[in-house]
Chain A
């Protein structure tokens, strides 16, 4: 079953605009990660935020985490056509027997028009 749910399912913007994607999850986590996937390829890690962190930046990426609401957002600023891809959030569920694995959401398809 999918732990994370992304919103929106698809996002279409113009180059230079900002893109915001949201992720909600159901159970306590150790960390939350965002990945990017170009069509027909493997996933590429973008950023990891731990449960005791609230915000992280990496280049044009900004990730926030609200553990009280069990939600995260990924902001891509000044988007480029090359950012066109599917974006997935993935959670490392805390406790139990599920340590060490990531559970992925269904993804947001981002299209950036030149």
Chain B
């Protein structure tokens, strides 16, 4: 177990292109989270999954954003028709919760830095 891994580490794209990021959580973790972080700010919640079910989506997640977690394992975050305002660090995190409620400690990946030109 090497922790949460994210791919790619860096992505440069032109405005209007689609991009997809992948996150592989810690294998026994049932929860997976996506956050977005811009320079000088704290991470902002985007969405999270419990197993394969997407339980909550932030209003920040416009219809250009879609996240999936097939079979409750890895997850992908796709951004369609990218805009310059999408430039940010996209962080994935995972955790294990046995109670079904409450947030336990999160294990973060190193993030994917997206630059939209």
The proximity string for A residues 77-94 relative to B, scoring 1 for CB distances below 8 Å and 0 otherwise, is 000000000001010100
The proximity string for A residues 29-68 relative to B, scoring 1 for CB distances below 8 Å and 0 otherwise, is 0110101000011111100100000000000000000000
Question: Most chain-A CB neighbours within 10 Å: which of B33, B93, B105, B107?
Answer: B105
Query: Quick one: closest B residue to A92, CB to CB?
Result: B103
B 77-107 contacts with A by CB, 8 A: 91, 93, 97, 101-107
Extra pairs beyond A42-B109, A100-B102 (8, CB < 8 Å): A35-B106, A45-B105, A100-B31, A100-B56, A103-B45, A104-B43, A105-B42, A106-B42
Contacts of B109 in A (CB 8 A): 42
Which bucket holds chain A's interface residue count?
Answer: 20 to 34
A100, chain B: closest CB distance, angstroms: 5
Q: B: which residues have CB within 8 A of A?
A: 4, 31, 33, 35, 40-45, 48, 50, 55-56, 91, 93, 97, 101-111, 113
Contacts of A107 in B (CB 8 A): 41-42
Contacts of B31 in A (CB 8 A): 100
Q: A: which residues have CB within 8 A of B?
A: 2, 4, 30-31, 33, 35, 40-45, 48, 88, 90, 92, 97-107
Contacts of A33 in B (CB 8 A): 103, 105-106
- Given the known inter-chain contacts A31-B103, A42-B110, please indicate yes or no for A98 contacting B42, CB distance below 8 A: no
Q: Is the CB of A101 within 8 A of B44?
A: no
Q: Is the CB of A100 within 8 A of B48?
A: yes
- Given the known inter-chain contacts A41-B111, A48-B105, A92-B103, please indicate yes or no for A101 contacting B48, CB distance below 8 A: yes
Q: Is the CB of A100 within 8 A of B50?
A: yes
Contacts of A105 in B (CB 8 A): 42
Q: Which of B42, B50, B102 contacts A30 (CB 8 A)?
A: B102
A91–B4 CA distance with the chains assembled, in angstroms: 21
Q: Which of A30, A43, A44, A98 contacts B43 (CB 8 A)?
A: A43
